[in-house]
Amino acid sequence: MNKNYIKFGAIIGTLIVSFSMLSSSNGPGGNKTGAPGSSGNCSGCHGNTPSNVGIIRVKIIDNGTQVTTYVPGKTYDLELNILGSEKIGFQLSAINDQNKAAGTISNNSSGTQVYNSGSQQIWGHNTPGSGLWTAKWTAPVANTGSVIFYVAAVLADGNGKNSGDYFNSFNVEITEESSNGNDNVSKSQNQLIQNPVGDQLTLQHPVKSAYIWNSEGKLIGKFFHSNQFEVGNIAPGVYHLNYVNENGSTGFARFVKQ
Ligand code: HEC
């Protein structure tokens, strides 16, 4: 056989081996968490209906107690609990409002891997499993503001193929603990009175102008010279509010619409 053919064969062989190493039994690779800045989620390939099968829970735990705010730089236990199948795969990404990795995930439990993809850090399965996965999460530096954990999961039938598998996703926000208790805004003289938000979005002080954006960056609403806005008709989810106070200073908040 011609030497070049042998070389070519070796290259193809290497490609096949590296491709199968990237294949989804070791996790799909890349960022398929569905977070802003990711390249979609798992549902394009694992799309059995209905979606949203099973239950996903994310817990940030400090000394055995679940918390909803973090202290900058502190290390927490991170628990991911997914119920609904014996063969589950997942990816998780914790990001700040720039869609970049917020904090650091380490000490991940067996059957999982942690790696960087673009400006985000991904924690994902490399062996499909069931139940509970754990890791450590070291919170980001002060003034990072809210962090959102995005999870995409496949509840598989274990046939080794991407057929017959159900998709589900989940996200949860954790706010930065600050000395003035002003957790949901960054460096502003104004703040949201309540978060998560029901039918009314209420700020402590009236604003000159305020804009509400959805997670895809689409403008959802605006209000002027008021501290209240009707949000009863917007879909549940995570939204971004930015505003100009009457005195010209600016602020933002991320809020969860229930
Ligand atoms: C580009 C298509 C594609 C994407 C996107 C994808 N997968 Fe897969 N996945 C596959 C294929 C193909 C298989 C079967 C072959 C294999 O295991 O490599 C598979 C297999 C699996 C299996 C084993 C299924 C079984 O029934 O045994 C799990 C679990 C899994 N993927 C989880 C995920 C998760 C979690 C995501 C999103 C974070 C994801 N996949 C995204 C293509 C994909």
Q: What is the pLDDT along the chain (258 residues), one digit of tens a residue?
A: 455 554 544 444 444 444 444 444 589 999 999 999 999 999 999 988 887 888 999 999 999 999 989 999 999 999 999 999 999 999 999 999 999 999 999 999 999 999 999 999 999 999 999 989 999 999 999 989 999 999 999 999 999 999 999 999 999 999 998 654 444 444 457 788 888 899 999 998 888 889 898 887 788 999 999 999 999 999 999 888 888 888 777 777 888 899
**What is the Cα–Cα distance from 110 to 129, expressed in whole angstroms?**
10
Q: Report the separation in Å between the CA atom of 214 and the middle of ligand 1, taken as the mean of its atom positions.
A: 29
Identify the pLDDT of residue 34. 94
**What is the Cα–Cα distance from 100 to 120, expressed in whole angstroms?**
5
Which atom of ligand 1 is least distant from the CA of 125? 35
Which atom of ligand 1 is least distant from the CA of 164? 26
Nearest to 145 by CA among 192, 198, 210: 192
Q: Report the separation in Å between the CA atom of 86 and the middle of ligand 1, taken as the mean of its atom positions.
A: 15
Which atom of ligand 1 is least distant from the CA of 88? 29
Nearest to 89 by CA among 131, 38, 134: 131
**What is the Cα–Cα distance from 89 to 24, expressed in whole angstroms?**
9
Q: Report the separation in Å between the CA atom of 159 and the middle of ligand 1, taken as the mean of its atom positions.
A: 11
Supply 191's token pair.
């703040």
Identify the pLDDT of residue 25. 56
Q: Report the separation in Å between the CA atom of 49 and the middle of ligand 1, taken as the mean of its atom positions.
A: 16
**Is the Cβ–Cβ distance between 121 and 115 less than 8 Å?**
yes
CA dihedral 105, 107, 108, 109 (to 10 degrees): -160
CA nearest ligand 1 atom 3, residue: 45
Q: Report the separation in Å between the CA atom of 31 and the middle of ligand 1, taken as the mean of its atom positions.
A: 13
Identify the pLDDT of residue 6. 47
Q: Report the separation in Å between the CA atom of 43 and the middle of ligand 1, taken as the mean of its atom positions.
A: 9
For ligand 1, pick from 56, 125, 154 the residue to mutate: most ligand atoms within 8 Å of CB.
154
What is the sign of the dihedral through the CA atoms of 124, 169, 60 and 103?
Answer: positive
Residue 135: count other Cβ atoms within 10 Å of its Cβ. 19
Identify the residues whose C-beta falls under 6 Å from ligand 1.
23-25, 28, 32, 41-42, 44-46, 87, 89-91, 128, 152-154, 156-162, 165
Identify the pLDDT of residue 41. 94
**What is the Cα–Cα distance from 95 to 31, expressed in whole angstroms?**
12
